[in-house]
């Protein structure tokens, strides 16, 4: 039998989550964020499953967008970081990609260009996140430039991104929303201009700010986007369940240490299992002791530092475990948020996006 680290991916749960998100934002179109290999779930597999049900796909680079066109995906694709060099504008024009403009140089690149067809454009404004986007107090002039450019499809759309939507009480949310609202009013865009502000957390928290397009990412994959609510409370279901099996079981005497750095010392005689999954698969090396691991449906704990190919589990809660038994690292029956509490930044984002391609993926249907 080959190495057993694998992930089960549920089409049903992916489409269920999309429906939950749409039900929460019934008047908005959906840009499904499939960047970063669809948050670790597989760019192609996820996009093929979503294409019929969403209005657009969101990627970080033209390489990802071209992969999607190559496999026959025809719906609009947004380059969320825009183009990285002038030649990409031509490709965007030919392939019909939506280009986000967030930096002056991207506008300059438009000058000497002769596009075969007008480019679909978004102006990204920085409403307070301090990341990509034109300073919202100075962005009107750039909107104007794009609006007057005959190589740009009109009207130009407008977007921004919230920094703290996962913390609903954070005052920065309302400041950003107010600032975005002021901007779109001040530039008095044509009635048909479309806007977008909300990521997953904001979709659940700020219904008045859904605008024309929502941009869900993490919620689609069934992890909670909110710090104070579980995925189950939001009716989201995990798309990925990460599994492997026990490849060795041993009893260690009191005082024995486990793993690199001898981080864990047995406080008593202990039954432990070695599982075939480590940081080379995307299970973080920095995960702390006691992170939950399901062994035959019993909740056991990680002990000792995660190695590249293996990790160690305390089998006290599952004394009948055998070599070959399956374990679950996260997913159905073990919410990823609970595992994320044992990571350095408490979120599921890097757990999901970190899954490596030597983990075998099995999509259900
Ligand atoms: C511009 C933009 N929109 C939407 C998203 C989706 O965010 P989330 O995964 O929190 O829903 C992201 C994620 O990084 C993003 O960068």
User: Residue 341: which CATH number?
Assistant: 2.40.37.10
Residue of the nearest CA to atom 6 in ligand 1? 217
Ligand 1 centroid–CA 183 distance in Å is 21
Q: Specify if 82 maps to a domain.
A: yes
- In the annotation, is 279 catalytic? no
User: Has residue 165 been placed in a domain?
Assistant: yes
Quick check: is 186 in a domain? yes
Q: What is the mean pLDDT of the chain?
A: 95
pLDDT tens digits, one per residue of 133-148: 999 999 999 999 999 9
312: tokens are 């160690």
Q: How far apart are CA 167 and CA 338, in angstroms?
A: 18
Dist. CA 222–CA 240, nearest whole Å: 8
pLDDT of amino acid 185? 87
Q: Are residues 176 and 254 in the same domain?
A: no
Phi, psi of 217 (to 5 degrees): -125, -90
**Nearest protein Cα to ligand 1, atom 8:** 217
Q: Does some domain include residue 103?
A: yes
- Helix 43-50 vs helix 11-24: angle between axes, to the nearest 10 degrees? 60
Do 183 and 257 share a domain, yes or no?
no
What are the pLDDT digits (tens) for 215-226? 999 999 999 999
Where a domain ends, among 223, 250, 271? 223
The arithmetic mean of pLDDT across residues 283-308, rounded, is 96
101 DSSP β-pair partners: 123
* Average pLDDT score over residue span 170-191: 88
Q: How far is the CA of 280 from the centre of ligand 1 (A)?
A: 26
Residues 208, 244 share a domain? no
Shared domain for 151 and 265, answered yes or no, is no
pLDDT tier at 365 (50, 70, 90 boundaries)? confident
Q: Verify that 215 and 272 share a domain, yes or no.
A: no
Same domain, 16 and 128: yes
Nearest residue to 295 via CA among 237, 240, 334, 238: 334
Number of structural domains found in the chain: 2
pLDDT band at 112 (very low <50, low <70, confident <90, very high): confident
Q: Does one domain contain both 38 and 166?
A: yes
- CA 199 to ligand 1 centroid distance, Å: 5
Would you state the pLDDT for residue 168?
83
| Radius of gyration of the chain from its Cα atoms, rounded to whole angstroms | 23
CB under 8 A, 24+ apart: contacts of 177-183: 177/127, 177/206, 177/209, 179/127, 179/128, 179/136, 180/125, 180/127, 180/136, 180/209, 183/125, 183/127, 183/136, 183/139, 183/140, 183/158
In ligand 1, the atom with minimum distance to the C-alpha of 161 is 1
Backbone angles phi, psi at 295, to 5 degrees: -120, 120
pLDDT recorded at residue 191: 63
Domain end call among 167, 188, 223:
223
Whether 286 and 316 map to the same domain: the answer is: yes
- CA 19–ligand 1 middle distance (angstroms): 18
Which region holds residue 122: left if phi is over 0, alpha if psi is between -120 and 50, else beta? beta
pLDDT exceeds 80 at position 80: yes
Q: Considering the domain boundaries, does residue 1 fall inside one?
A: no
| pLDDT at res. 345 | 83
The predicted structure's pLDDT at residue 192? 78
To test ligand 1's pocket by mutation, which of 18, 64, 80 has the most ligand atoms within 8 angstroms of CB? Answer: 80
Least confident of 31-35, 111-115, 239-243: 111-115
Residues with CB under 6 A from ligand 1: 33, 80, 161, 199-201, 215-219, 225
Quick one: which atom of ligand 1 is closest to the CA of 39? 9
**How confident is the model over 315-338, as pLDDT tens digits?**
999 999 999 999 999 999 999 999
| Structure tokens, 241 | 């369940």
Looking at the structure, do residues 136 and 169 belong to the same domain, yes or no? yes
Q: What are phi and psi of 14, to 5 degrees?
A: -60, -50
In a domain, 6, yes or no: no
Residue 175 has pLDDT above 90, yes or no: yes
Question: Which member of 19, 104, 138, 260 is catalytic?
Answer: 260
Tell me the CA–centroid distance for residue 198 and ligand 1, in Å: 8
Based on the domain organization, do 281 and 312 belong to the same domain?
A: yes
The CATH number assigned to the domain holding 156 equals 3.20.20.10
Q: Which of 161, 210, 223 to mutate to test the pocket of ligand 1 (most atoms within 8 A of CB)?
A: 161
Mean pLDDT, rounded, for 94-99? 97
Query: Which tens digit of pLDDT belongs to each residue from 249-273?
Result: 999 999 999 999 999 999 999 999 9
Q: Are strands 264-265 and 257-258 parallel, antiparallel or unpaired?
A: antiparallel
Question: In the predicted model, what is the mean pLDDT of residues 284-289?
Answer: 95
pLDDT score of 190: 63
Residue nearest to atom 5 of ligand 1 (CA): 199
Instruction: Output the CA 308–ligand 1 centroid distance in Å.
Output: 29
pLDDT digits (tens, 9 = 90+) for 37-73: 999 999 999 999 999 999 999 999 999 999 999 999 9
260 a catalytic residue: yes
Within a domain: 2: no
Nearest atom (ligand 1) to Cα of 199: 11
Q: Where are the beta strands (DSSP E) in the chain?
A: 6-10, 29-33, 56-59, 77-79, 98-101, 120-126, 134-135, 157-159, 195-196, 213-214, 240-252, 257-258, 264-265, 270-275, 292-295, 298-302, 311-314, 326-330, 360-364
Residues 295 and 206 in one domain: no
The last residue of a domain, from among 197, 223, 249 = 223
Which residue among 215, 219, 234, 337 is best mutated to probe the pocket of ligand 1, counting the most ligand atoms within 8 A of its Cβ?
215
pLDDT above 90 (res 23): yes
Same domain, 326 and 280: yes
| Contact call for residues 35 and 47 (beta carbons, < 8 A) | no
> In the prediction, which pLDDT does 344 show?
87
Residue identifier of the C-alpha nearest atom 13 of ligand 1: 217
Range of the domain at 196: 11-223
pLDDT at 189 over 90: no
Task: Please indicate, yes or no, if residue 4 is contained in any of the structural domains.
Answer: no
Mean pLDDT of 194-211: 96
């Amino acid at each position: 039998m080959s190495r057993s680290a694998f992930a089960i991916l549920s089409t049903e749960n992916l489409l269920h989550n999309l429906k939950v998100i749409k039900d929460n934002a019934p008047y908005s179109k959906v840009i499904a964020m499939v960047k970063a290999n669809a948050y670790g779930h597989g760019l192609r597999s996820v996009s093929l499953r979503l294409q019929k049900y969403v209005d657009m796909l969101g990627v970080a680079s033209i390489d990802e967008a071209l992969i999607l066109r190559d496999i026959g995906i025809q719906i609009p694709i947004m380059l969320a970081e825009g183009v990285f060099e002038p030649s990409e504008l031509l490709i965007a024009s030919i392939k019909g990609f939506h280009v986000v403009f967030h930096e002056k140089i991207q506008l300059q690149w438009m000058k000497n260009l002769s596009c075969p067809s007008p480019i679909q454009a978004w102006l990204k404004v920085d409403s307070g996140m301090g990341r990509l986007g034109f300073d919202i107090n100075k962005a009107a002039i750039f909107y104007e430039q794009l609006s007057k450019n005959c190589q740009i499809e009109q009207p130009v759309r407008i977007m921004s991104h919230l920094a703290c939507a996962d913390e609903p009480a954070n005052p920065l949310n309302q400041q950003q929303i107010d600032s975005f609202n002021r901007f779109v009013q001040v530039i008095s865009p044509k009635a048909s201009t479309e806007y977008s502000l909300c990521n997953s957390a904001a979709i659940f928290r700020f219904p008045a700010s859904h605008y024309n397009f929502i941009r869900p990412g993490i919620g689609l994959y069934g992890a909670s986007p909110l710090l104070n609510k579980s995925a189950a409370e939001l009716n989201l279901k995990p798309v990925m369940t990460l599994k492997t099996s026990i490849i060795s079981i041993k009893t260690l005497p009191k005082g024995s240490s486990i793993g690199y750095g001898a981080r864990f010392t047995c406080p008593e005689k202990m039954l432990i299992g070695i599982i075939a999954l480590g940081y080379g698969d995307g299970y973080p090396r920095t995960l702390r002791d006691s992170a939950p691991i399901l062994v035959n449906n019993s909740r056991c704990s990680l002990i000792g530092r995660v190695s590249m190919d293996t990790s160690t589990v305390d089998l006290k809660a599952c004394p009948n475990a055998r070599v070959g038994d399956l374990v679950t690292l996260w997913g159905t029956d073990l919410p990823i948020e609970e595992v994320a509490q044992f990571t350095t930044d408490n979120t599921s984002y890097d757990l999901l996006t970190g899954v490596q391609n030597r983990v075998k993926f099995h999509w259900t249907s």
